[in-house]
Amino acid sequence: MLEDLGGGGQSYTSADGVDCRNYGGGAGLVELREMFAPLLSVPVGQLVAGNNSSLALMHDCIVYAMLGAMPGGGHWVRGDTAFLCPVPGYDRHFALCEQYGIEMIPVPMTEMGPDMDKVEELVSRDARIKGMWCVPKFSNPGGECYSDVTVARLAVMETAAADFRIFWDNAYAVHDFSVEVGVADLLKACAEAGWPERAFVFGSTSKITFAGGGVAFLGGSEANVRWYLDKAAKRSIGPDKLNQLRHARFLGSTAGVKALMARQAEIVRPKFELVQRVLGEELGALDTVSWPEPKGGYFVTLEVRSGLAKHVVGLAGMAGLMLTPAGATHPHGVDPADRVIRIAPTYPTLAELEVAMEGLCICARLAEAEVGRG
């Protein structure tokens, strides 16, 4: 990626003639936005390419909403703002809410996405509910994909808060293992339903190129994007366009992104297959334990007997096996049923992963045996 920039001044020039070493260009390089627009289901003119962290974009949207009016009016107030949080969910989403005094209201996940009967009931009667977290494809950590019906209901539902926003964190948009899984276009559905400002769409290359050195994206209505860019212009004179240029040239096109992810799937898929095999062999006979078989993404959720998740994770730690803390998948780090354990199998080698999974299963069986002994 870096070698492409070594041939003189023109190497630093974007497709539309921008010298990427300079300030400016708050919306990011157009060639990169054109590349990712179809992958994130956002029109090019309504997509912003930023620095490495989509979480930073989410953070800033929350802070800007608390510091001033949003498009269409409305001002989020610390201590009088709530978010719906599908659970199990992403701990960093919850940490943002906790940081800024936003009440978190858990909503159960189903195979089709969040429990929409519950969502519709809550947002229709509580004007404090200003937002909702969603990971629509290969949800973190359960791997669920939102159905077309779920997306449609999110778009058309009546909300007591006029300034309600869905934070659509499409982190795993291109992270299929084999067959490509599609998720309906929320931004388009919201516009057609008469709520064009309802959705903020987020994505990044964090699990495409580099976790700490990629490019993040923010999409929304034209009004939402203007609002964000106006606020962000006071915070920064522009994003790291040299990094964006490296990514644009390395990835090449939308098809290039998909080709890279197909190669990545060849690395990742065997690890998830190993997880499924070991769980089936070691825990398949236990009717108190369950897990899904995701078609993509980066996590597997293991649900053990109620009251045992922390104990299983503790036993694993004593054996030298590091796991995500039990409870991290719920607001404030508290899983009321103490059941959910998030497994992240992508980093270890296959040999290391097999040892780790066998160790985890031994800890789960030991915890079960302790319950059986009373």
pLDDT for position 282:
97
CA 227 – CA 234 distance, rounded (Å) = 12
The answer to whether 333 and 257 are in contact (CB under 8 A) is no
pLDDT for position 191:
98
Fold that domain 267-368 belongs to in CATH: Aspartate Aminotransferase, domain 1 (3.90.1150)
Q: Name the architecture of domain 14-252.
A: 3-Layer(aba) Sandwich (3.40)
Task: Tell me how far CA of residue 155 lies from CA of 65, 84, 190, 200, in angstroms.
Answer: 20, 15, 5, 12
Question: Is this model's pTM higher than 0.75 or not?
Answer: yes
CA 55 – CA 200 distance, rounded (Å) = 12
CA 232 – CA 145 distance, rounded (Å) = 31
Whether 14-252 and 267-368 share one fold: the answer is no
Provide CB contacts within 8 A for 151, sequence distance 6+. Answer: 113, 136, 183, 184, 185, 186, 189
What residue spans define the domains of the chain? 14-252, 267-368
Q: In order along the chain (374 residues), what is the average pLDDT of each group of 10 residues? A: 53 88 95 98 98 98 96 90 98 97 98 98 98 98 97 98 97 94 97 98 96 96 98 96 94 97 96 98 96 95 97 96 95 97 95 98 96 69
